[in-house]
Chain A
Amino acid sequence: GENVEQHPSTLSVQEGDSAVIKCTYSDSASNYFPWYKQELGKRPQLIIDIRSNVGEKKDQRIAVTLNKTAKHFSLHITETQPEDSAVYFCAASPVNSGYSTLTFGKGTMLLVSP
């Protein structure tokens, strides 16, 4: 099955800095790569996703890049703010195959200091 590795496990930055979280996946059949943000005591919420036919996607201060050959994808947050502090999860799945579920990385706790 799919295996998703995520680094770093914790990331501390100053407000205004950029933050980068990296993930690798093992199953070449995976073609959908979402990122979720989970604030303390809340549910994971989708913040951005990318499909394997696209190399990069941007939404305001967040962007995701995908390298299919190397099987890795990254989340970039620019101009970080204290409200960006949360646990971020990457995930991968082969959408619409018979065994499609999201496999999650172990999460990155991002702390943004004012």
Chain B
Amino acid sequence: DTAVSQTPKYLVTQMGNDKSIKCEQNLGHDTMYWYKQDSKKFLKIMFSYNNKELIINETVPNRFSPKSPDKAHLNLHINSLELGDSAVYFCASSPLLGHGYTFGSGTRLTVV
């Protein structure tokens, strides 16, 4: 039973399209995150949600819009996709802010 699951695992799309990535956790955690891992493997925080409330938005273009319908779900919608958005996007959850992360398996987004 996967603790943090993301869909889809792979996403190939054209520039200018709009796409969504979904994340669900069954760990009962209060906090969820989106991280972007670029081609050099650098993991950078994008958003942090605690109990469905956005608490951190790290200078991410407003083409990226997270949504948390409930504590167990955090989705990421991206408008007008650009080549530079190509990366692996990881969802994570934790019981405490900034502690004990469990990562999802990642979504490899390729914009062509």
Contacts and interface: CB of A to CB of B under 8 A. Distances in A.
Interface of A: 32, 34, 38, 42-46, 49, 87, 89, 93-104, 106-107, 109
Given A93-B98, A94-B98, A95-B97, A87 B41 contact: yes
Contact-residue bracket for chain B: 20 to 34
B105 A96 contact: no
Choose among B44, B96, B98 the residue with the greatest number of A CB atoms under 10 Å from its CB: B98
A45 B48 CA distance: 19
A43 B5 CA distance: 11
A54 to B, nearest CB: 15
Contacts of A34: 101
Nearest to A44: B103
Nearest to A45: B103
Interface string B81-112: 00000000010000011111111111000000
A86 to B, nearest CB: 11
B22 to A, nearest CB: 16
Contacts of A44: 43, 90, 101, 103
9 contacts: A43-B106, A44-B90, A49-B100, A89-B43, A95-B99, A96-B96, A96-B97, A100-B96, A106-B41
Contact of B42 (A97, A99, A107, A109): A107
